[in-house]
């Protein structure tokens, strides 16, 4: 598991060659996986398939903290914006 990340509003779409598991620790993050959008609240998680264009956006009123786990040994992200 990667360290906790504090999330500012925004952050553009991205993709990478590994499965990513988002765990929201505080606040709310909206996950857009290219086919649907949903709010993920503290204590919930979302899974994004390898190669899937996606965004995680702080969509709550306050701070959002999240941690991610990846299913690959090498970290690589292609930022699309």
Span 18-72, pLDDT tens digits: 888 999 999 999 999 888 999 999 999 999 998 999 988 888 888 888 888 877 6
Q: Judge whether 78 lies within some domain.
A: no
| CA separation for the pair 57, 33 (Å, rounded) | 11
**Residue 32: which CATH number?**
2.60.120.10
Q: Judge whether 77 lies within some domain.
A: no
| CA separation for the pair 44, 28 (Å, rounded) | 9
Q: Judge whether 80 lies within some domain.
A: no
Number of domains the chain is built from = 1
Span 41-52, pLDDT tens digits: 999 999 999 899
The sign of the torsion formed by the CA atoms of 55, 61, 67, 69 equals negative
Degrees (nearest 5) of the Cα angle 62, 63, 64? 120
Which domain covers residue 42, as residue numbers?
Answer: 5-72
Listed in order, strand segments (DSSP E) in 1-72 are 5-6, 14-15, 20-26, 28-32, 37-41, 45-48, 55-58, 65-70
């Amino acid at each position: 598991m990667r360290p906790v990340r504090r999330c500012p509003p925004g952050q553009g779409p991205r993709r990478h060659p590994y499965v990513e598991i988002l765990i929201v620790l505080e606040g709310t993050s909206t996950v857009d996986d290219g086919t649907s959008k949903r709010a993920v609240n503290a204590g919930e998680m979302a899974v994004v398939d390898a190669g899937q264009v996606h965004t995680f956006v702080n969509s709550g009123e306050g701070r959002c903290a999240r941690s991610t786990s990846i299913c690959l040994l090498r970290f690589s992200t292609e930022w699309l914006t």
